Amino acid sequence: MRSLQKVGLIAIALLLTVGMASAVNVTFRVDMSIQEQLNNFDADVDSVGLNGSMNDWGSPSDRMLDPDEDLIYEVTVDLEAGTEYFFKFVIANGGDFADLSWESIADRSMTCPDDDTVLDVLFFNDQNSANPTYPYEIIFQVDMTVAIQTEVFDPAEDGVIIRGGHEALGNWGGYTQLTLQGGGEDIYAALITFESLETNTDLPYKFLIDVGNNQSDPVTWEEPPGGDRILVATGDEPDNNNNGYKEIVLDPVFWEDNPGGINQDLSVTFYLDGRPAIKKHADVGIPELVDADIDSIEFFIITGPWDNNWNWTDGDPGNYNLYDDGIAPDLVAGDSIFTCTIDFSEGTGINFTYKYGCHGWDNEAGQNANRFRELPTDQPTWTVEDQFGENGDLYDDYLSVREIPTATVPTEFALEQNYPNPFNPSTTIAFTLPAPGNAKLRVFNVTGQEVINRDMGTLGAGMFELNLDMAGLSSGVYFYRVEALGMTQTKKMMLMK
């Protein structure tokens, strides 16, 4: 009996050791000195917290302390090694963690290291200088003409509001309403007073549709191709009314920067290279799929604001699924290229915002890392080629195209010999671009038949590597060609199985 008890105690100790092995102490630090200079934070009254995926975004917040009274606040939390976390710092106004002022920047991210770590000091809102501040009166304007034409917005039923990264804009909340202007145009505007606006600093904002115009959810966020709209006050603006407020009148912008719609019905076929997700899941696992006991990726979905305002389906097949089953429009079953077709009606806005997800989860890239395409206006069909994860950094180690850091920008277009060569079944192709541009890889067999055609999208100036998997092709000599910036280079390689 004692032997059995001893074995049981040893097993429990081992389990505890394994469980503790993945727990890492990570210390987060934030400098609040600039926020105090800007009168956004009072160390004698307010508190600082850490909110993120490690604490369900503040359920509750992790309170940060300033032990040295140097306005650098810190907190140490237990995280799981190898896991990526998203987070922001918050100000608890008056020390009340039910009244929070959030950072107005995009979600921060970090991947937990294997050992206890003290992270670098960050500045709240990434503001490391206190620029002059002035009172402002700013007129914001948005043209809803196309939104009405595409039935995204019903002026008889809905309202238009604005939110942004300033208390005058609700700190990304609230229902600051714009009103319809006269003159027969569908332009909505609002004059908003900023009692204190920092100059030479990005002020992010967006327009929203208040569905039902009842000052409550649901709301529809616009998704401009460039992300958040940005206003930068210079301090040189006039005070024409002599009322102590500098004045800015912004020109009207189209909802989602969409100036018009397509001229005819359009059918778009999406080809998605799913290998980055497949390789990552096989290597370290994609958290949502691991939690759902999904061993292999069977489908992806594509969604966006046009799909019932981002129709993520939490693992169930959605309306727009991409499959690799060889059934049209998919060309070849089992080649890890997932496909679907979406039909757009005449008048649909030309700016198309979208994102992919494995099995219906929003796990391709970080928050707001959306994809943007401009739909062609005058053709009935169109194809789009994407690679899963290329719009963020979650799959960098698994992408087939990645940028290689260089000390200087390349001065010429060059294609390198693949390596290894001969190879089985994958090889690496490197090339340089002296300027930004669209790049395409094409592979031909010895008879001149094209066997691979991959649009790598728009790349910046620099050096790039492409991992090419030719597992589905037979042994032999092939020619690979990279086309970019109006130039073409071709080299020979050999696949040996």
CATH number at residue 322: 2.60.40.10
In this structure, what CATH number is given to the domain that contains residue 444? 2.60.40.2550
In a shared domain, residues 228 and 141: yes
Average pLDDT on 187-216 reads 94
Q: Same domain, yes or no, for 112 and 148?
A: no
Mean pLDDT, to the nearest integer, of 332-354? 88
Q: How many domains does the chain have?
A: 4
Contact between residue 308 and residue 369 where contact means Cβ atoms under 8 Å apart: no
Instruction: Look at residue 18 and tell me whether its pLDDT is greater than 50.
Output: no
Residue 190 predicted with pLDDT over 80: yes
Q: Among 41-45, 160-164, 237-241, 399-403, which stretch is predicted with the lowest mean pLDDT?
A: 399-403
Which of residues 364 and 14 earns the better pLDDT score? Answer: 364
Residues 281 and 364 in one domain: yes
Whether residue 85 is found in the same domain as residue 185: no
Q: Examine the fold and report which residue of 126, 151, 184 is the final residue of a domain before the chain moves on.
A: 126
What pLDDT is stored for residue 13 in this prediction? 47
Q: Are residues 77 and 146 in the same domain?
A: no
Burial class (CB in 10 A: 0-12, 13-18, 19+), 180: middle
Share of the chain above pLDDT 90, in %: 60
* pLDDT, tens digit (0-9, with 9 covering 90-100), for 462-486: 999 888 878 667 889 999 999 999 9
Q: Over range 323-351, report the average pLDDT.
A: 89
Whether 471 and 454 share a structural domain:
yes
Give me the mean pLDDT over the 328-356 stretch: 88
What is the pLDDT averaged over residues 332-355? 88
Q: Are 147 and 122 part of one and the same domain?
A: no
pLDDT of 318 > 50? The answer is yes
**pLDDT tens-digit profile of 102-153?**
987 878 999 999 999 999 999 998 888 778 889 999 999 999 988 887 788 9
Domain extent for 192: 133-257
Looking at 374, 398, 422, the residue that finishes a domain is 398
Q: What is the 3-state secondary structure (H, E, C) of the chain?
A: CHHHHHHHHHHHHHHHHHHHHCEEEEEEEEECHHHHHCCCCCCCCCEEEEEEHHHCCCCCCEEEECCCCCCEEEEEEEEECCCEEEEEEEEEHHHCCCCEEECCCCCEEEECCCCCEECCCEEHHHCCCCCCEEEEEEEEEEECHHHHHCCCCCCCCCEEEEEECCHHHCCCCCCEEEEECCCCCCEEEEEEEEEEEECCCCEEEEEEEECCCCCCCCEEECCCCCCCEEECCCCCCCCCCCCCCEEEECCCEEHHHCCCECCCCEEEEEEEECHHHHHHHHHCCCHHHHHCCCCCCCEEEEECCCCCCCCCCCCCCCCCEEECCCCCCCCCCCCCEEEEEEEECCCCECEEEEEEEECCCCCCCCCCCCEEEECCCCCCEEEEEEECCCCCCCCHHHCCEEEECCCCCCCCCEECCCECCCECCEEEEEEEECCCEEEEEEEEECCCCEEEEEEEEEECCEEEEEEEECCCCCCEEEEEEEEECCEEEEEEEEECC
Residue with more model confidence, 14 or 67: 67
Q: What is the pLDDT of residue 490?
A: 96
Q: Residues 11, 118: one domain?
A: yes
- Give residue-wise pLDDT tens across range 293-313: 999 999 999 998 888 778 887
- Boundary (domain end) residue, out of 62, 96, 126: 126
> Are residue 438 and residue 480 in the same domain, yes or no?
yes
One domain, residues 232 and 280: no
Per-residue pLDDT for 291 more than 60? yes
At residue 315 the predicted structure's pLDDT band, cuts being 50, 70 and 90, is low
Same domain, 233 and 276: no
Looking at the structure, tell me whether residues 156 and 222 fall in a common domain: yes
Look at the pTM and tell me if it is higher than 0.75: no
**What does the mean pLDDT of the chain come to?**
88
Note the pLDDT of residue 403: 81
Q: Are strands 47-52 and 62-64 parallel, antiparallel or unpaired?
A: antiparallel
